[in-house]
């Protein structure tokens, strides 16, 4: 599905970028994919995809044992 009509960026491109660069900032995502860099109308959708990815891939807290 096309997320950014101005630059013809698909959701799959955004997902691919995030999987390859899981620690990227939203700004880095925008600059690399060009999503939401022209008119900005798609920014809420880009932010939603970015936020959902971050939520789904946050690190699992490990048990820490002190001796």
The pTM score is: 0.83
pLDDT digits (tens, 9 = 90+) for 8-40: 999 999 999 999 999 999 999 999 999 999 999
Q: Which residues pair with 10 in a beta bridge?
A: 2
Alpha helices in 1-67 (DSSP H): 11-20, 26-33, 43-56
């Amino acid at each position: 599905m096309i997320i950014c009509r101005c630059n013809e960026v698909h959701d799959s491109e955004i997902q691919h970028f995030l999987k390859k660069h899981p620690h990227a900032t939203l700004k880095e995502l925008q600059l690399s994919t060009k999503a939401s860099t022209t008119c900005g109308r798609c920014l809420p959708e880009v932010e939603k995809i970015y936020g959902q990815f971050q939520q789904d891939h946050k690190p699992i807290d490990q048990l820490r044992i002190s001796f």
